[in-house]
Amino acid sequence: MSWFTPHMKKLLYSEPLKQALRGYDSFSVMLEHFNRTRGWDPLSRIQYVDIKTYLVDDILTKVDRASMAHSLEVRVPFLDHEVMEYAANIPAHYKLRNGSGKYIFKKTLEGLVPPEILTRTKMGFSIPLAQWLRSDLKSEFEDRVFSSDGFVARLFALDPIRGWWAQHQRGTRDYSTHLWALLILESWGRRFITR
């Protein structure tokens, strides 16, 4: 729900932003779904929350845009409500086996799909963001985010960002997701708010 920890937010948020938020925490969106699953096993709880939040608001959006741009339908069979309901009722110990997820699904595909496909590590849509922020995007980030009249400077304290930026540049910490979020927010704010 948020790459920024509560401690990071406390350092980052300006006083006017803290007052405007009046104690709102983005985790409250997830908490509502967790509260519906009291008494469930931990895996089923997190899967339910994942389906209600991350899956619909992030992953499926990305997959839909990428696949439909090429006239592909890639997810519908697995998200049929009867398949989802059936999968949700499978006991947790059948879903995970020896630290491996999708156990039943993989066993079903044995003999149909080559073993190197079934056993390979998960591959996402990752990009070399950490490196880009140390090279190609370095000057753009510094010019935009550290601008005293920028959008980010209206909402956040720049000193913590400078500290995270310095650690990231030295390679002592990877703050790429945090820094990327700030750069995108700055770019969005310039385009749609401050113009």
Q: Which residues does residue 13 pair with via DSSP β-bridges, in sequence order? A: 156
Average pLDDT over residues 11-19: 96
* pLDDT bucket at 1, cuts 50 / 70 / 90: low
pTM of the model: 0.77
Average pLDDT, the chain: 91
For residue 56, pLDDT over 80 is answered with yes
* pLDDT bucket at 189, cuts 50 / 70 / 90: very high
Distance CA 97, CA 104 (A): 9
Residue 156 confidence (pLDDT): 97
For residue 93, pLDDT over 90 is answered with no
* pLDDT bucket at 78, cuts 50 / 70 / 90: confident
- The pLDDT > 90 percentage for the chain reads 61
Please write down the long-range contacts of 121-130, taking CB distance under 8 Å and 24 or more positions apart. Answer: 125/62, 125/66, 129/176, 129/177, 129/180, 130/168, 130/174, 130/176
Residue 77 confidence (pLDDT): 76
For residue 55, pLDDT over 80 is answered with yes
Average pLDDT over residues 127-153: 96
Residue 168 confidence (pLDDT): 98
Answer whether 34's CB lies under 8 Å from 45's CB.
yes
Distance CA 18, CA 5 (A): 15
For residue 29, pLDDT over 80 is answered with yes
Distance CA 108, CA 104 (A): 6
* pLDDT bucket at 96, cuts 50 / 70 / 90: confident
Average pLDDT over residues 133-154: 96
Q: Tokens 């385009």 — which residue?
A: 191
